[in-house]
Structure 1
Amino acid sequence: MIVTTPQKPTPEQTEYARGLAEELGARFVPRKQDSLLLLKAKHEDVRLLVADDRGLRYYEDSEAPLYFHPSMAYVRVKRMRKGEGDPLIAVTGCQPGDTVVDCTAGLGSDSIVFAYAVGPEGSVTALESERVLYTVVREGLRTYRTQHEDVNEALRRIAMRLTDHLDYLKRLPDKSVDIVYFDPMFRQPVHDSSALSPLRALANGAALGEASIREALRVARKCVALKEHADSGEFERLGFESRHRNKIAYGVIIKA
Protein backbone atom coordinates (compact mmCIF):
# COMPACT_ATOMS: atom_id res chain seq x y z
CA MET A 1 0.00 0.00 0.00
CA ILE A 2 1.09 3.57 -0.77
CA VAL A 3 0.62 6.52 1.58
CA THR A 4 0.95 9.98 0.07
CA THR A 5 -0.01 13.65 0.53
CA PRO A 6 -1.56 16.52 -1.45
CA GLN A 7 0.52 17.78 -4.37
CA LYS A 8 1.84 20.70 -2.31
CA PRO A 9 2.01 19.35 1.24
CA THR A 10 2.99 21.27 4.33
CA PRO A 11 5.84 19.83 6.41
CA GLU A 12 3.23 18.75 8.96
CA GLN A 13 1.24 16.85 6.33
CA THR A 14 4.37 15.10 5.12
CA GLU A 15 5.34 14.10 8.65
CA TYR A 16 1.78 12.89 9.33
CA ALA A 17 1.72 10.78 6.16
CA ARG A 18 5.12 9.27 6.97
CA GLY A 19 3.86 8.31 10.42
CA LEU A 20 0.77 6.65 8.97
CA ALA A 21 2.89 4.71 6.48
CA GLU A 22 5.05 3.41 9.31
CA GLU A 23 1.99 2.45 11.37
CA LEU A 24 0.36 0.61 8.46
CA GLY A 25 3.51 -1.07 7.19
CA ALA A 26 3.08 0.81 3.91
CA ARG A 27 5.34 2.82 1.61
CA PHE A 28 5.44 6.59 1.92
CA VAL A 29 5.67 8.08 -1.58
CA PRO A 30 6.03 11.85 -2.16
CA ARG A 31 3.13 13.04 -4.31
CA LYS A 32 4.98 15.74 -6.28
CA GLN A 33 2.73 16.63 -9.25
CA ASP A 34 1.55 13.11 -9.96
CA SER A 35 -2.13 12.27 -10.27
CA LEU A 36 -3.37 9.42 -8.12
CA LEU A 37 -3.76 7.20 -11.18
CA LEU A 38 -0.18 7.89 -12.25
CA LEU A 39 1.07 7.24 -8.72
CA LYS A 40 -0.66 3.83 -8.70
CA ALA A 41 0.75 2.96 -12.10
CA LYS A 42 4.30 4.07 -11.26
CA HIS A 43 4.45 1.97 -8.13
CA GLU A 44 2.25 -0.91 -9.35
CA ASP A 45 -0.04 -0.75 -6.34
CA VAL A 46 -3.81 -0.10 -6.45
CA ARG A 47 -4.02 0.50 -2.68
CA LEU A 48 -3.52 4.16 -1.95
CA LEU A 49 -4.09 6.26 1.18
CA VAL A 50 -4.10 10.04 0.78
CA ALA A 51 -3.61 12.23 3.87
CA ASP A 52 -4.70 15.82 3.32
CA ASP A 53 -6.84 18.57 4.84
CA ARG A 54 -10.01 16.62 4.03
CA GLY A 55 -8.86 13.73 6.21
CA LEU A 56 -7.82 10.27 5.05
CA ARG A 57 -9.07 8.92 1.74
CA TYR A 58 -8.41 5.29 0.84
CA TYR A 59 -8.53 4.16 -2.79
CA GLU A 60 -8.39 0.61 -4.06
CA ASP A 61 -9.98 -0.69 -7.26
CA SER A 62 -12.86 1.80 -7.18
CA GLU A 63 -12.48 5.45 -8.14
CA ALA A 64 -14.68 6.30 -5.15
CA PRO A 65 -12.57 6.54 -1.99
CA LEU A 66 -13.33 5.27 1.49
CA TYR A 67 -13.35 8.18 3.92
CA PHE A 68 -14.87 9.11 7.27
CA HIS A 69 -18.06 11.14 7.43
CA PRO A 70 -20.79 11.06 10.10
CA SER A 71 -23.43 10.96 7.35
CA MET A 72 -26.79 9.67 8.66
CA ALA A 73 -25.39 9.43 12.19
CA TYR A 74 -25.20 13.22 12.24
CA VAL A 75 -28.80 13.47 11.05
CA ARG A 76 -29.90 11.07 13.79
CA VAL A 77 -27.98 12.95 16.47
CA LYS A 78 -29.41 16.28 15.35
CA ARG A 79 -32.87 14.77 15.80
CA MET A 80 -31.88 13.59 19.27
CA ARG A 81 -30.68 17.13 20.08
CA LYS A 82 -34.26 18.25 19.38
CA GLY A 83 -35.63 15.70 21.81
CA GLU A 84 -36.68 13.15 19.19
CA GLY A 85 -36.08 9.44 19.73
CA ASP A 86 -33.79 7.07 17.84
CA PRO A 87 -34.80 3.43 17.18
CA LEU A 88 -31.42 1.98 18.21
CA ILE A 89 -31.39 3.90 21.49
CA ALA A 90 -35.00 2.89 22.13
CA VAL A 91 -34.57 -0.86 21.55
CA THR A 92 -31.41 -1.05 23.67
CA GLY A 93 -32.75 1.12 26.49
CA CYS A 94 -29.53 3.11 26.32
CA GLN A 95 -29.28 5.81 29.00
CA PRO A 96 -26.79 8.54 29.95
CA GLY A 97 -23.89 6.95 31.81
CA ASP A 98 -24.13 3.56 30.09
CA THR A 99 -21.07 1.70 28.82
CA VAL A 100 -21.36 0.34 25.28
CA VAL A 101 -19.18 -1.96 23.19
CA ASP A 102 -19.80 -1.67 19.46
CA CYS A 103 -18.27 -4.89 18.17
CA THR A 104 -18.39 -4.04 14.47
CA ALA A 105 -17.58 -0.35 14.17
CA GLY A 106 -17.38 -0.01 10.39
CA LEU A 107 -17.54 3.72 9.68
CA GLY A 108 -18.60 4.42 13.26
CA SER A 109 -22.16 5.61 12.60
CA ASP A 110 -23.89 3.73 15.40
CA SER A 111 -21.00 4.37 17.77
CA ILE A 112 -21.58 8.10 17.24
CA VAL A 113 -25.28 7.77 18.10
CA PHE A 114 -24.44 5.72 21.21
CA ALA A 115 -21.73 8.21 22.26
CA TYR A 116 -24.18 11.10 22.12
CA ALA A 117 -26.82 9.10 24.03
CA VAL A 118 -24.54 7.96 26.87
CA GLY A 119 -23.06 11.44 27.32
CA PRO A 120 -19.84 12.41 29.11
CA GLU A 121 -20.64 10.08 32.03
CA GLY A 122 -20.81 7.02 29.77
CA SER A 123 -18.39 5.37 27.37
CA VAL A 124 -18.38 3.78 23.93
CA THR A 125 -15.68 1.40 22.76
CA ALA A 126 -15.73 0.71 19.01
CA LEU A 127 -13.99 -2.42 17.74
CA GLU A 128 -12.69 -2.83 14.19
CA SER A 129 -10.68 -5.78 12.93
CA GLU A 130 -9.53 -4.33 9.58
CA ARG A 131 -6.45 -2.12 10.00
CA VAL A 132 -6.99 0.39 7.17
CA LEU A 133 -10.66 0.90 8.06
CA TYR A 134 -9.73 1.27 11.72
CA THR A 135 -7.14 3.94 10.90
CA VAL A 136 -9.44 5.95 8.62
CA VAL A 137 -12.26 5.97 11.18
CA ARG A 138 -10.00 6.57 14.20
CA GLU A 139 -8.48 9.63 12.55
CA GLY A 140 -11.88 10.85 11.39
CA LEU A 141 -13.32 10.64 14.90
CA ARG A 142 -10.29 12.52 16.17
CA THR A 143 -10.39 15.40 13.70
CA TYR A 144 -13.82 15.76 12.08
CA ARG A 145 -15.74 18.86 13.16
CA THR A 146 -19.46 19.52 12.91
CA GLN A 147 -21.18 22.81 13.73
CA HIS A 148 -22.30 21.44 17.10
CA GLU A 149 -19.68 21.25 19.84
CA ASP A 150 -21.60 18.62 21.83
CA VAL A 151 -21.57 16.36 18.75
CA ASN A 152 -17.82 16.95 18.30
CA GLU A 153 -17.31 15.97 21.92
CA ALA A 154 -19.30 12.76 21.35
CA LEU A 155 -17.03 11.85 18.41
CA ARG A 156 -13.91 12.40 20.53
CA ARG A 157 -15.25 10.22 23.35
CA ILE A 158 -15.38 7.08 21.20
CA ALA A 159 -12.46 4.76 21.98
CA MET A 160 -11.42 2.84 18.86
CA ARG A 161 -9.71 -0.54 19.26
CA LEU A 162 -8.04 -2.54 16.50
CA THR A 163 -9.08 -6.06 17.44
CA ASP A 164 -11.29 -9.03 16.65
CA HIS A 165 -14.48 -8.62 18.67
CA LEU A 166 -14.57 -12.21 19.94
CA ASP A 167 -11.02 -11.93 21.30
CA TYR A 168 -11.92 -8.63 22.95
CA LEU A 169 -15.12 -9.93 24.55
CA LYS A 170 -13.31 -12.99 25.94
CA ARG A 171 -10.99 -10.69 27.88
CA LEU A 172 -13.81 -8.77 29.56
CA PRO A 173 -15.17 -9.74 33.01
CA ASP A 174 -18.74 -10.95 33.46
CA LYS A 175 -21.38 -8.18 33.43
CA SER A 176 -18.76 -5.51 32.85
CA VAL A 177 -20.59 -3.36 30.27
CA ASP A 178 -24.21 -2.35 29.81
CA ILE A 179 -24.78 -2.91 26.07
CA VAL A 180 -23.00 -5.05 23.49
CA TYR A 181 -23.90 -4.22 19.89
CA PHE A 182 -23.33 -5.94 16.54
CA ASP A 183 -23.82 -4.53 13.05
CA PRO A 184 -22.12 -7.09 10.80
CA MET A 185 -21.78 -6.52 7.07
CA PHE A 186 -25.04 -7.66 5.47
CA ARG A 187 -24.68 -10.76 3.31
CA GLN A 188 -26.95 -9.08 0.74
CA PRO A 189 -27.06 -5.27 0.53
CA VAL A 190 -30.46 -3.69 1.18
CA HIS A 191 -29.90 -1.55 -1.91
CA ASP A 192 -27.04 -0.73 -4.23
CA SER A 193 -24.98 2.15 -2.92
CA SER A 194 -21.84 3.50 -4.56
CA ALA A 195 -21.02 5.26 -1.28
CA LEU A 196 -20.88 1.93 0.58
CA SER A 197 -19.01 0.00 -2.11
CA PRO A 198 -15.54 0.99 -0.82
CA LEU A 199 -16.56 -0.07 2.71
CA ARG A 200 -17.94 -3.40 1.52
CA ALA A 201 -14.68 -4.13 -0.31
CA LEU A 202 -12.56 -3.44 2.78
CA ALA A 203 -14.66 -4.50 5.77
CA ASN A 204 -14.69 -7.90 7.44
CA GLY A 205 -17.49 -9.84 5.76
CA ALA A 206 -17.51 -12.86 8.06
CA ALA A 207 -20.86 -14.00 9.42
CA LEU A 208 -21.53 -13.39 13.09
CA GLY A 209 -20.87 -16.53 15.12
CA GLU A 210 -22.78 -18.07 18.01
CA ALA A 211 -19.63 -17.91 20.17
CA SER A 212 -19.66 -14.11 19.86
CA ILE A 213 -23.25 -13.97 21.09
CA ARG A 214 -22.45 -16.22 24.05
CA GLU A 215 -19.57 -13.99 25.09
CA ALA A 216 -21.66 -10.87 24.60
CA LEU A 217 -24.41 -12.26 26.84
CA ARG A 218 -21.83 -13.06 29.50
CA VAL A 219 -20.40 -9.55 29.37
CA ALA A 220 -23.59 -7.47 29.06
CA ARG A 221 -25.60 -6.22 32.01
CA LYS A 222 -28.58 -4.80 30.11
CA CYS A 223 -28.79 -6.26 26.60
CA VAL A 224 -27.14 -7.52 23.43
CA ALA A 225 -28.39 -5.93 20.19
CA LEU A 226 -28.06 -6.84 16.51
CA LYS A 227 -28.72 -4.80 13.37
CA GLU A 228 -29.57 -6.84 10.29
CA HIS A 229 -31.57 -7.05 7.10
CA ALA A 230 -35.13 -7.71 8.25
CA ASP A 231 -35.48 -10.91 6.21
CA SER A 232 -31.95 -12.27 6.63
CA GLY A 233 -32.82 -15.04 9.11
CA GLU A 234 -29.94 -13.99 11.37
CA PHE A 235 -32.24 -12.99 14.24
CA GLU A 236 -33.73 -16.46 14.39
CA ARG A 237 -30.37 -18.20 13.92
CA LEU A 238 -28.74 -16.27 16.75
CA GLY A 239 -31.67 -16.10 19.17
CA PHE A 240 -32.69 -12.43 18.93
CA GLU A 241 -36.16 -10.98 19.27
CA SER A 242 -36.62 -8.81 16.18
CA ARG A 243 -37.92 -5.30 16.82
CA HIS A 244 -38.46 -2.12 14.83
CA ARG A 245 -38.86 -4.10 11.62
CA ASN A 246 -38.33 -2.20 8.39
CA LYS A 247 -35.92 -2.97 5.55
CA ILE A 248 -33.32 -2.81 8.30
CA ALA A 249 -34.30 -4.19 11.69
CA TYR A 250 -32.87 -4.33 15.21
CA GLY A 251 -32.92 -7.48 17.31
CA VAL A 252 -32.33 -7.56 21.03
CA ILE A 253 -31.73 -10.03 23.83
CA ILE A 254 -32.64 -8.42 27.15
CA LYS A 255 -30.71 -9.59 30.19
CA ALA A 256 -32.87 -10.56 33.17
Structure 2
Amino acid sequence: MKLTIVGMSGSYAGPKSPASCYLVQATDENARLWSLVLDLGSGAFGALQNYVDPFDVDGVAISHLHPDHCSDLSGYYVYYKYHPVKGTEFSDRGPIPIYAPGGARERFSIAYGLDNGETMENQFAHVKWSCGTRVEVGPFQLEAFEVNHPVEAYGFRITGPSESDPTKRVTLGYSGDTDDCPGVRSIADHADLFLCEAAFVEGRDDGIPDMHLTGRRAAIVARESGAKRLVLTHIPAWNDSTITLDETKNEYSGPISLAEPGGVFEL
Protein backbone atom coordinates (compact mmCIF):
# COMPACT_ATOMS: atom_id res chain seq x y z
CA MET A 1 0.00 0.00 0.00
CA LYS A 2 1.36 3.37 -1.04
CA LEU A 3 0.25 6.80 0.23
CA THR A 4 0.83 9.91 -1.90
CA ILE A 5 0.24 13.35 -0.42
CA VAL A 6 -1.69 15.33 -3.03
CA GLY A 7 -2.58 18.24 -0.73
CA MET A 8 -2.00 18.90 2.97
CA SER A 9 -2.88 22.53 3.59
CA GLY A 10 -5.37 23.00 6.42
CA SER A 11 -8.59 25.02 6.10
CA TYR A 12 -7.80 26.46 2.66
CA ALA A 13 -5.46 25.93 -0.28
CA GLY A 14 -2.09 27.48 0.47
CA PRO A 15 0.50 28.93 -1.89
CA LYS A 16 2.50 25.69 -1.83
CA SER A 17 -0.21 23.07 -1.47
CA PRO A 18 -3.85 22.30 -2.18
CA ALA A 19 -6.10 21.55 0.75
CA SER A 20 -6.53 18.01 2.05
CA CYS A 21 -6.24 15.19 -0.48
CA TYR A 22 -4.46 11.84 -0.25
CA LEU A 23 -4.06 9.05 -2.81
CA VAL A 24 -3.84 5.47 -1.55
CA GLN A 25 -2.87 2.76 -4.03
CA ALA A 26 -2.26 -0.98 -3.95
CA THR A 27 -2.05 -3.86 -6.40
CA ASP A 28 -4.26 -6.90 -5.96
CA GLU A 29 -3.38 -10.56 -6.55
CA ASN A 30 -4.18 -10.15 -10.26
CA ALA A 31 -1.71 -7.25 -10.61
CA ARG A 32 -4.55 -4.76 -10.98
CA LEU A 33 -3.72 -1.35 -9.48
CA TRP A 34 -6.46 0.12 -7.28
CA SER A 35 -6.64 3.82 -6.41
CA LEU A 36 -8.54 5.34 -3.52
CA VAL A 37 -8.75 9.09 -2.82
CA LEU A 38 -9.17 10.37 0.73
CA ASP A 39 -10.78 13.83 0.66
CA LEU A 40 -10.72 16.24 -2.28
CA GLY A 41 -10.34 19.71 -0.84
CA SER A 42 -9.97 23.09 -2.52
CA GLY A 43 -7.36 23.05 -5.29
CA ALA A 44 -6.79 19.30 -5.07
CA PHE A 45 -8.37 17.98 -8.27
CA GLY A 46 -5.82 19.63 -10.52
CA ALA A 47 -2.91 18.27 -8.48
CA LEU A 48 -4.49 14.80 -8.33
CA GLN A 49 -4.13 14.50 -12.10
CA ASN A 50 -0.34 14.50 -11.66
CA TYR A 51 -0.58 11.13 -9.92
CA VAL A 52 -3.55 9.25 -11.37
CA ASP A 53 -6.00 9.44 -14.26
CA PRO A 54 -9.27 10.54 -12.57
CA PHE A 55 -11.08 7.84 -14.54
CA ASP A 56 -8.87 5.22 -12.88
CA VAL A 57 -9.92 6.21 -9.35
CA ASP A 58 -11.94 3.40 -7.75
CA GLY A 59 -13.52 5.43 -4.95
CA VAL A 60 -13.41 8.70 -3.05
CA ALA A 61 -13.77 8.74 0.75
CA ILE A 62 -14.84 12.12 2.15
CA SER A 63 -14.22 12.67 5.86
CA HIS A 64 -16.63 15.61 6.24
CA LEU A 65 -18.31 18.35 4.26
CA HIS A 66 -16.13 21.37 4.95
CA PRO A 67 -14.86 22.84 1.65
CA ASP A 68 -11.19 22.16 2.40
CA HIS A 69 -12.05 18.45 2.26
CA CYS A 70 -14.62 18.16 -0.52
CA SER A 71 -15.07 21.29 -2.65
CA ASP A 72 -13.13 19.99 -5.65
CA LEU A 73 -15.76 17.33 -6.22
CA SER A 74 -17.40 20.03 -8.35
CA GLY A 75 -14.45 19.93 -10.74
CA TYR A 76 -14.38 16.14 -10.63
CA TYR A 77 -18.07 16.10 -11.60
CA VAL A 78 -17.43 18.26 -14.68
CA TYR A 79 -14.45 16.16 -15.71
CA TYR A 80 -16.25 12.86 -15.18
CA LYS A 81 -19.34 13.99 -17.07
CA TYR A 82 -18.03 16.10 -19.94
CA HIS A 83 -14.59 14.70 -20.82
CA PRO A 84 -14.96 14.38 -24.61
CA VAL A 85 -13.71 10.80 -24.76
CA LYS A 86 -14.27 9.14 -21.39
CA GLY A 87 -17.03 11.27 -19.86
CA THR A 88 -20.40 9.80 -18.97
CA GLU A 89 -22.06 12.00 -21.62
CA PHE A 90 -20.02 10.22 -24.30
CA SER A 91 -19.50 6.70 -22.94
CA ASP A 92 -21.22 3.94 -20.99
CA ARG A 93 -19.00 4.51 -17.95
CA GLY A 94 -20.73 4.02 -14.61
CA PRO A 95 -20.60 6.34 -11.60
CA ILE A 96 -17.66 6.43 -9.20
CA PRO A 97 -18.42 5.51 -5.55
CA ILE A 98 -18.32 8.50 -3.19
CA TYR A 99 -18.27 7.55 0.50
CA ALA A 100 -19.37 10.58 2.51
CA PRO A 101 -21.42 11.77 5.52
CA GLY A 102 -25.17 12.28 5.37
CA GLY A 103 -26.36 15.15 3.19
CA ALA A 104 -23.42 14.87 0.79
CA ARG A 105 -25.56 14.24 -2.29
CA GLU A 106 -27.54 17.45 -1.74
CA ARG A 107 -24.50 19.47 -0.68
CA PHE A 108 -22.50 18.59 -3.78
CA SER A 109 -25.43 19.34 -6.07
CA ILE A 110 -25.97 22.75 -4.46
CA ALA A 111 -22.24 23.53 -4.56
CA TYR A 112 -22.19 22.99 -8.31
CA GLY A 113 -25.48 24.84 -8.83
CA LEU A 114 -27.65 22.03 -10.17
CA ASP A 115 -31.38 22.78 -10.32
CA ASN A 116 -34.61 21.53 -11.90
CA GLY A 117 -34.18 18.19 -10.20
CA GLU A 118 -30.89 17.40 -11.94
CA THR A 119 -28.55 15.18 -9.90
CA MET A 120 -25.02 13.81 -10.05
CA GLU A 121 -26.19 10.19 -9.86
CA ASN A 122 -24.71 9.24 -13.23
CA GLN A 123 -21.31 10.47 -12.07
CA PHE A 124 -21.25 9.81 -8.31
CA ALA A 125 -22.75 6.80 -6.52
CA HIS A 126 -23.13 8.00 -2.94
CA VAL A 127 -22.57 5.72 0.03
CA LYS A 128 -23.40 7.24 3.42
CA TRP A 129 -20.86 6.91 6.21
CA SER A 130 -21.91 6.04 9.72
CA CYS A 131 -19.78 5.06 12.69
CA GLY A 132 -18.54 1.52 12.14
CA THR A 133 -19.30 1.46 8.41
CA ARG A 134 -16.96 -0.91 6.59
CA VAL A 135 -16.55 -1.01 2.83
CA GLU A 136 -14.39 -3.04 0.47
CA VAL A 137 -12.65 -1.33 -2.46
CA GLY A 138 -10.53 -3.86 -4.29
CA PRO A 139 -7.79 -4.97 -1.89
CA PHE A 140 -8.70 -2.24 0.62
CA GLN A 141 -10.96 -2.44 3.61
CA LEU A 142 -12.11 0.93 4.96
CA GLU A 143 -13.67 1.44 8.36
CA ALA A 144 -15.14 4.78 9.43
CA PHE A 145 -14.89 6.20 12.95
CA GLU A 146 -16.75 9.28 14.13
CA VAL A 147 -14.37 12.00 15.32
CA ASN A 148 -14.58 15.26 17.27
CA HIS A 149 -15.27 18.19 14.93
CA PRO A 150 -18.07 20.81 14.75
CA VAL A 151 -19.84 18.95 11.92
CA GLU A 152 -20.50 15.26 11.27
CA ALA A 153 -16.99 14.00 10.64
CA TYR A 154 -15.13 10.72 10.26
CA GLY A 155 -11.63 9.38 10.16
CA PHE A 156 -10.65 6.11 8.54
CA ARG A 157 -8.65 2.94 9.00
CA ILE A 158 -7.58 1.56 5.64
CA THR A 159 -6.17 -1.94 5.56
CA GLY A 160 -4.49 -3.38 2.48
CA PRO A 161 -1.50 -5.33 1.15
CA SER A 162 2.02 -4.29 2.11
CA GLU A 163 4.23 -2.87 -0.63
CA SER A 164 7.17 -5.05 0.44
CA ASP A 165 5.18 -8.24 1.05
CA PRO A 166 1.74 -8.41 -0.61
CA THR A 167 0.80 -11.40 1.55
CA LYS A 168 1.01 -9.15 4.61
CA ARG A 169 -1.78 -6.73 5.58
CA VAL A 170 -0.90 -3.23 6.79
CA THR A 171 -3.02 -0.41 8.17
CA LEU A 172 -3.12 3.31 7.40
CA GLY A 173 -4.97 5.49 9.90
CA TYR A 174 -6.29 8.88 8.73
CA SER A 175 -7.61 11.18 11.43
CA GLY A 176 -9.64 13.55 9.26
CA ASP A 177 -10.24 16.76 11.24
CA THR A 178 -10.62 16.17 14.95
CA ASP A 179 -9.77 17.04 18.50
CA ASP A 180 -8.77 14.18 20.79
CA CYS A 181 -11.54 11.59 21.14
CA PRO A 182 -12.09 7.82 21.31
CA GLY A 183 -12.59 7.65 17.54
CA VAL A 184 -9.19 9.06 16.62
CA ARG A 185 -7.52 6.73 19.10
CA SER A 186 -9.22 3.76 17.49
CA ILE A 187 -8.01 5.00 14.10
CA ALA A 188 -4.42 5.26 15.36
CA ASP A 189 -4.47 1.97 17.28
CA HIS A 190 -1.25 0.17 16.26
CA ALA A 191 -1.52 1.63 12.75
CA ASP A 192 1.53 1.10 10.57
CA LEU A 193 1.21 4.77 9.58
CA PHE A 194 -0.94 7.37 11.29
CA LEU A 195 -1.73 10.36 9.05
CA CYS A 196 -2.88 12.91 11.59
CA GLU A 197 -4.04 16.48 11.37
CA ALA A 198 -2.22 19.10 13.44
CA ALA A 199 -3.85 22.40 12.54
CA PHE A 200 -3.56 24.08 15.93
CA VAL A 201 -0.55 25.45 17.83
CA GLU A 202 0.04 24.95 21.54
CA GLY A 203 -0.50 28.13 23.58
CA ARG A 204 -2.21 29.95 20.71
CA ASP A 205 -5.34 27.93 20.00
CA ASP A 206 -5.97 26.43 23.44
CA GLY A 207 -9.29 28.21 23.82
CA ILE A 208 -10.92 26.49 20.85
CA PRO A 209 -12.13 23.03 21.88
CA ASP A 210 -13.55 20.14 19.82
CA MET A 211 -12.01 21.14 16.51
CA HIS A 212 -8.33 20.32 15.85
CA LEU A 213 -5.21 18.74 17.29
CA THR A 214 -1.82 20.35 17.80
CA GLY A 215 1.44 18.66 16.92
CA ARG A 216 1.95 17.80 20.57
CA ARG A 217 -1.49 16.27 21.02
CA ALA A 218 -1.22 14.35 17.75
CA ALA A 219 2.03 12.86 19.04
CA ILE A 220 0.38 11.91 22.33
CA VAL A 221 -2.42 10.13 20.48
CA ALA A 222 0.15 8.31 18.35
CA ARG A 223 2.21 7.24 21.36
CA GLU A 224 -0.67 6.16 23.56
CA SER A 225 -2.34 4.30 20.65
CA GLY A 226 0.80 2.44 19.63
CA ALA A 227 1.02 3.88 16.10
CA LYS A 228 4.26 2.86 14.40
CA ARG A 229 4.78 6.02 12.35
CA LEU A 230 3.32 9.53 12.50
CA VAL A 231 2.82 11.88 9.55
CA LEU A 232 1.54 15.36 10.44
CA THR A 233 -0.83 17.03 7.99
CA HIS A 234 -3.61 19.64 7.59
CA ILE A 235 -1.25 22.44 8.62
CA PRO A 236 -2.60 25.87 7.54
CA ALA A 237 -0.29 28.03 5.45
CA TRP A 238 -0.32 30.67 8.20
CA ASN A 239 1.39 28.19 10.57
CA ASP A 240 5.12 27.53 10.76
CA SER A 241 5.32 23.76 10.27
CA THR A 242 8.65 23.60 12.11
CA ILE A 243 6.80 24.72 15.25
CA THR A 244 4.29 21.93 14.71
CA LEU A 245 7.12 19.43 14.39
CA ASP A 246 8.92 20.81 17.45
CA GLU A 247 5.78 20.27 19.52
CA THR A 248 6.07 16.53 19.01
CA LYS A 249 9.43 16.30 20.77
CA ASN A 250 9.41 14.25 23.97
CA GLU A 251 5.90 12.98 23.18
CA TYR A 252 6.52 10.27 20.59
CA SER A 253 9.65 8.22 19.92
CA GLY A 254 8.67 6.72 16.56
CA PRO A 255 9.41 8.18 13.12
CA ILE A 256 7.72 11.55 12.52
CA SER A 257 7.32 13.32 9.17
CA LEU A 258 5.62 16.44 7.89
CA ALA A 259 3.27 15.80 4.97
CA GLU A 260 4.40 17.61 1.83
CA PRO A 261 2.76 17.67 -1.61
CA GLY A 262 4.15 14.83 -3.69
CA GLY A 263 5.47 12.99 -0.65
CA VAL A 264 5.20 9.21 -0.89
CA PHE A 265 5.03 6.74 1.98
CA GLU A 266 5.15 2.99 1.44
CA LEU A 267 3.59 0.74 4.05
Normalised by the size of structure 2, how large is the TM-score?
0.32
> 1 or 2 for the larger relative contact order (CA 8 Å, sep ≥6)?
2
Larger Rg belongs to: 1
Structure with the largest fraction of helix:
1
